[in-house]
Structure 1
């Protein structure tokens, strides 16, 4: 697959670009502001200046970061280390929106979205994460059954994120319909769609492959703790 420089370093390009207003940090390291997804991005992952982030971090805060493989500097601890796939959409699209009955999620749904994400663990998620893009969900009454939305973005690229379905409602294809709606939306805007999935999440990885996503790269992902 042909390299896409912005996608190679997408976390930095998002936090230092379109999402800079939602982040804190320096010219070398940035984090999403508290309340958003707890993610750190580095201008150069081989030189992670975590000490410079101290003014915007509280003791005990946990963050996800991508692409950094060195030892933890003083004041930080690596709690989890794994790998994830960055997947790029390269498949056929349906002629029409498969989820016209999905509801847009707004501020009034933030608590329900966080509750579902806490249960399903699709990745780093905060009470304000749904402010980063368009989110859609399916409801059973007032209960959020499934959701998917947008997170990272850079010129010509938009991430599909927060994909999860409550265990009581799995097997109905709800997440697939929501993802496809976002794929259509991105195509209409002229964006290429991508997403992330942990290597250990075999079922989700296979679903995305079956839908037309391709593995673009595999990178180290860590959860680090400010001490």
Structure 2
């Protein structure tokens, strides 16, 4: 039986987040406004023709595993690699490390998107904060750091959107927010996991120190329908 993390995007898009997506049994995408991610039942042989009717020319989508040539009518914008890491099983924090963090909702969507565009934590849209629980730290009413949840399948729950405004980096905000999310997930019996670009060695090392271990390294691409 395949592991849920081996094809996490499809397992989420065709499972817990099906109501947030569109497509068929051959290809699915998150609806516009959510994280621009696509999934296929066989990620090594993606059916982009089945996905095409649900896309608009010029949109950019993230997909993983597949490493073949660009299909007809599509362009590969980015070709890179990322690590998928999973919690190593150690106990989580003994208490909430960020009691001052506030839940993010629809009224924070514009601020969250602006922070994500500034810091580029990964695919993020104006409705991404609806994909799970998001928390933010504020300074004088200004959102300066956030972290939350994105995909999920089986017991696995992704930590995503982790970012800190450049003026506030080095204060441990990202770690505190991540630990808050981890604490909540472990209390629910879930297993945290996350993604990091392979080229970002500093972040990769940071997550390993926090208590994650490498599950796999995979291709990640950004593709655009023409």
Q: Aligned partners of 1:132 and 1:147: how far apart in 2? A: 14
**What residue in structure 2 maps to residue 47 of structure 1?**
45
2:44 touches 2:66 (CA, 8 Å); kept in 1?
Answer: yes
**What residue in structure 1 maps to residue 218 of structure 2?**
219
**What residue in structure 2 maps to residue 56 of structure 1?**
54
**What residue in structure 2 maps to residue 163 of structure 1?**
162
Q: Aligned partners of 2:75 and 2:119: how far apart in 1? A: 25
Three-state SS of the structure 2 residue aligned to 1:122 is: coil
Q: Aligned partners of 1:107 and 1:129: how far apart in 2? A: 10
TM-score normalised according to structure 1 size: 0.97
1:148 touches 1:179 (CA, 8 Å); kept in 2?
Answer: yes
State the 4+ residue runs in structure 1 displaced beyond 3 angstroms: none
The answer to which of 40-49 and 171-180 deviates more is: 40-49
2:46 touches 2:66 (CA, 8 Å); kept in 1?
Answer: yes
Unaligned runs of 5+ in 2: none
The offset of 1:55, in angstroms, is 1.7
Q: C-alpha offsets along residues 31-83 of structure 1, whole Å, 9 cap, x if unaligned? A: 00000000111110222111111221111111000111111111001111000
2:7 touches 2:43 (CA, 8 Å); kept in 1?
Answer: no
C-alpha root-mean-square deviation of aligned residues, in Å?
1.1
1:92 touches 1:212 (CA, 8 Å); kept in 2?
Answer: no
2:103 touches 2:136 (CA, 8 Å); kept in 1?
Answer: yes
Three-state SS of the structure 2 residue aligned to 1:9 is: helix
The offset of 1:94, in angstroms, is 2.0
2:79 is equivalent to residue 85 of structure 1? no
The offset of 1:92, in angstroms, is 3.6
**Between Structure 1 and Structure 2, how many residues are aligned?**
225
The offset of 1:143, in angstroms, is 1.2
Unaligned runs of 5+ in 1: none
Q: Aligned partners of 1:55 and 1:131: how far apart in 2? A: 25
The offset of 1:8, in angstroms, is 1.2
**What residue in structure 2 maps to residue 176 of structure 1?**
175
Q: C-alpha offsets along residues 98-146 of structure 1, whole Å, 9 cap, x if unaligned? A: 0111000000000000000001000000000000000000001221110
2:18 to 10, 17, 20: 20
2:194 is equivalent to residue 188 of structure 1? no
2:92 touches 2:186 (CA, 8 Å); kept in 1?
Answer: no
The offset of 1:4, in angstroms, is 6.9
TM-score normalised according to structure 2 size: 0.97
